[in-house]
Amino acid sequence: MHWVYMVKCSDGTYYTGYAKDVNRRVKEHNESSKGAKYTRARRPVTLCYQEGYLTRSEACQREYQIKKMTRQQKEDLVQQFNKQKI
């Protein structure tokens, strides 16, 4: 499975990425130098959104779409995701 995920940084900004193992990737963002340069300066980060895809291509296309969204659109996406989890 290929995942697109969004984390909320300590300064309130969002970071969107791709991973095969989301939990490992979030841990890297928080604890290691393998985390993205953007998130290293904004630790800790918390996972707030994820979507699964069968192919890397689909996941990367969706990652690109999310990265182009406005902050409000991202917040709406996170809110929808959290409603589905309940």
Mean pLDDT of 65-77: 98
DSSP 49: E
Each residue of 11-66: pLDDT tens digit?
A: 999 999 999 999 999 999 999 999 899 999 999 999 999 999 999 999 999 999 99
pTM of the model: 0.93
Distance CA 19, CA 49 (A): 13
User: So what's the pLDDT on residue 67?
Assistant: 98
Going by their DSSP bridges, the two strands 2-8 and 46-53 should be labelled as antiparallel
Q: Which residues pair with 16 in a beta bridge?
A: 6
pLDDT band of 80, cuts 50, 70, 90: very high
| Complete domains list, the chain, with CATH | 2-85 (3.40.1440.10)
Q: Residue 86: is its pLDDT beyond 90?
A: no
Contact at 8 Å (CB) between 16 and 4?
Answer: yes
pLDDT band of 84, cuts 50, 70, 90: confident
